[in-house]
Structures are given as structure tokens and as C-alpha cells.
Structure 1
Amino acid sequence: MNIEEFRTYCITKKGVTEEFPFDEHTLVFKVMGKMFALMALERKPPQANLKCDPEKALTLREEYDGVIIPGYHMSKKHWNTLYLEQLAPAFIKEQIDHSYDLVVNGLTKKLKEELRNLTL
């Protein structure tokens, strides 16, 4: 999966915005204002950071040694960095969905209701 495919999949999800809050090279995806994915546009090979359940994060790092690593410049407990070109697109989409769902599940009742009422 390349960075454009990653971006396209992220922005199709309900309530997602994209922005550059850190610098002009780091694209951040948020759902209802909460970050669930980010990618450094200049990094070679392409990679992205995704939020992950801590136990699942450890399992993925073991299973995909060197391809999924602790989140670069992020909480190592809650974030993974994925090397996009070395993983199947369907698997990456599953990880994006997992990250998105983790963030949505952690939203306040008010924000969850706002998200439910949004149209795509």
C-alpha cells in the first residue's frame, strides 16, 4: 500500500479530518478531533503510525518483526509504526479500522452522538 492509498482509505471513514498540526511533512488523521493515524510523507520506505490495543501491539510486533515496530515518536505502549510496502493492503486496512475503532470507543457520549449523526 502506498501513502495515497492509505490516505484515501482513512478519509473515507466517518468523521475523519486530515491536517498538518506538527509540520508540513506529517499528515495526521483525526476522528472527531482525536488522532488515530499519522504518516510522515517524506519517509522512505513509506510508513504510518496507528493506535493499537497494547496487548495486540506486542503480538503484532512479534509476528511482523521489523515490519511493525513500536510507534516512532509516539507512546510505545499504544502506537505501532507499520512499513506499508511490506504488508498486505487488506491487513493495513484492518489495522486502520482497529485504530479508528479504539479512538471512537474512547470518545465521550456527546462526541459519539455527533459522529452517529454525521453523514458521509
Structure 2
Amino acid sequence: MDTVFPEGTASARPFKIKGNRAYGPGVIDMKSSLVSLIFAVKALQAFQMCGYKNIQIILNSDEEIGSPTSKNIIEKYAAKSKYALIMEPARKDGSVVTARWGGDVIRFM
């Protein structure tokens, strides 16, 4: 999810696990946040908090190129939603990522 590297990058920098860390192209980016999302939903379920029943999760693999094939479904569910989160991980210093060098629109209510 959410990773675009030139052809051959995975061969030059293959995925590996060393100790308790993973290395390779794209191991951070949204993947770490997707793992966090899974555990957050599991925690809501474990503590019997019914809020997880209202969560819609959309995973689109074409985000890096503007979501041409997933845009309609994202817009459909966004129109029905009060909040939307894009699961981009924080930076090394802990600051929140609110945009990348692509396009973005954020509305604060």
C-alpha cells in the first residue's frame, strides 16, 4: 500500500527483518499506520466499545497516482462520514503528516 519505487529498488534493497525491525522499500509509509489501525480496532473490540462498528476502512493501492480507480468509493463513504483519517505515519520527530508533495485538501470544522 502507498509505495512507489523505481523498478529494481526491491532487488537493490530487499526486505529483511533484523532483530525486531523490518527493513526495505516501503516498510514505513502507510504500512506502519495500517498495522496500528488493525490493533486499534482490535482494542476497541477487546474493550467492548461499540464505536468500532461505525468505522469504514478503505484501503486503496492507487493513492500515489491520485486514486483514479478508488476515488468514487472514497467519495461515496466520505459523504456519509463525520470524520475521515488518512493513516499516514508521523515523522521521526512525532509531528503529524497533513500533506505530501501531491495534492491535498483539509477542512477543519
The verdict on a shared fold, with TM-score over 0.5 as the criterion, is no
Larger strand percent: 1
TM-score (norm 2): 0.26
Looking at secondary structure, tell me which structure has more helix per residue. Answer: 1
TM-score by length of 1: 0.24
